[in-house]
Structure 1
């Protein structure tokens, strides 16, 4: 029996993948969405040019937490180059449902925190606030 995308989002929200903290992350980054109160932190570990472990923690709406769970699955065991290449379209594709303009900040919070974490680790140039494009 296949799940529809709304059920898939709720599954990631209720049973998030890679939820928690790493004991000794190479980088940790946090941010929030002040408009709705979503909060998110990401821990990353690297080995060479690969993301070998990812954990996130936070609280917020189903969209913000489900997208963080999905993104964590997308980046684990990927090269830093592949992770840097991930963008908004990848998050929207993973969510699989249309996201209203009001909810895009929720959907993209994890992506923003991920890119800031990579910048903090010196692996990516800091980007302009990705949400401002909306």
Structure 2
């Protein structure tokens, strides 16, 4: 049976996966924008900052996510929101009992798995785009 400490630790690990996923999406979008505008060759910090301010909009319009990938990312964003906006409220008094904490751990494990897998996919995409950018930028001066 899960203790409060184990539950809090699992929540933290799951929140980390959600933040990794969000950060990776931002990096991926910035890389796509950099390729499109040549920022990897001639940096433009002001425009790059504006791109970061529109992460989700940019991902939908420029990321060309299709089919299962779009569904997975949308589902992961919902999982992230379920975790960060009401996890404890939804579970209410379950934290008071062994069985309730175990149910909360099951929910956290499911959320963590979904967020972690989405982060891995986004990270692989970012790595590929980064390789293209490095290739396009040419050798270092």
Same fold, TM-score > 0.5, yes or no: no
Q: Which has the higher contact order (CA 8 A, sep 6+)?
A: 2
Between Structure 1 and Structure 2, whose CA radius of gyration is higher?
A: 2
TM-score, length basis structure 1: 0.28
TM-score, length basis structure 2: 0.28
